[in-house]
Homo-oligomer: A and B are copies of this chain.
Amino acid sequence: MFYFIIDILGIISFAISGVLVAMDKRLDLFGVFIIAFVTATGGGTLRDLLIGNTPVLWMQEPTYVYVIAGTVVFAIIFRNQLKYVRRSLFLFDTIGIGLYTMVGISHGLQSGLPPVMCIALGTITACFGGVIRDILCNEIPVIFRKEIYATACIMGGIGFFLLRKLPYDDAYAYVATILIVIGIRLLAVKFKISLPSIYRSAKEG
């Protein structure tokens, strides 16, 4: 139940981030809904496709469609007031990527994949909805350019496999993973830490 509430809050904040990007591009109602939908479900969809878990999760669970549709209607109506809840949205989004990282890792373990692939699946689940959103909106994905976002998920995933070696139940490692992801993301934003851009001194290489 607790898990379910966090899941829904994560989906809502992902969907709203999609609505915001879609409105900047002046898409129509259908476009806004699709962008919100892929932002919220795209990471999990890519994960399910890569491991062959079909029909993909959201196809089997209509709740997601209704929650996202409701969120889109709500976000459009209150579109000029969204700035007042920006901090809450950021927090939900951060909790969301922590949770999704854990969900992705758990799917990888169930498919019998090696640790590095589980970490990849966790990161894909948490981050690639935003990647697909940006591609559909004709932008280079923001997580390839700035912000500690995927990095937090990768760190959380590494933390999980280290902690898992301790003689405790896996549940502790899962909770710790979520906290690591959230903690790194919050610290990175607070102290404005980001990965360096990589480029060449001259272009003719």
The residues of A with any CB-CB pair to B shorter than 8 Å are 19-20, 22-32, 34-35, 45, 49-52, 54-56, 59-60, 62, 65, 76, 79-83, 86, 111, 113-114, 116-117, 120, 131, 135-141, 143-146, 150-151, 194-205
CB-CB nearest in chain B for A137: B140
* Contact (Cβ within 8 A) A27 B144: yes
* Contact (Cβ within 8 A) A79 B200: yes
Q: Evaluate whether A55 and B55 lie within 8 angstroms (CB atoms) in the complex, with A22-B198, A138-B138, A198-B79 already known.
A: no
* Contact (Cβ within 8 A) A113 B27: no
A81 contacts which chain B residues (CB < 8 A)?
A: 205
Q: Evaluate whether A136 and B135 lie within 8 angstroms (CB atoms) in the complex, with A146-B28, A150-B30, A205-B82 already known.
A: yes
A200 contacts which chain B residues (CB < 8 A)?
A: 23, 79-80
**Copies of this chain, count:** 3
- Most interface-central of A23, A79, A131, A144 (chain B CB within 10 A): A144
* Contact (Cβ within 8 A) A26 B83: no
* Contact (Cβ within 8 A) A199 B144: no
Distance, CA A117 to CA B201, complexed state (A)? 44
CB-CB nearest in chain B for A86: B205
A62 contacts which chain B residues (CB < 8 A)?
A: 114, 116-117
Q: Evaluate whether A80 and B50 lie within 8 angstroms (CB atoms) in the complex, with A28-B195, A31-B141 already known.
A: no
* Contact (Cβ within 8 A) B198 A27: yes
Question: A26 to chain B: closest CB distance in Å?
Answer: 5
A116 contacts which chain B residues (CB < 8 A)?
A: 62, 65
* Contact (Cβ within 8 A) A80 B32: no
Distance, CA A45 to CA B120, complexed state (A)? 15
CB-CB nearest in chain B for A82: B205
* Contact (Cβ within 8 A) B52 A144: no
8 closest Cβ pairs, A-B complex: A52-B54, A31-B144, A28-B195, A83-B205, A26-B197, A82-B205, A29-B195, A27-B144
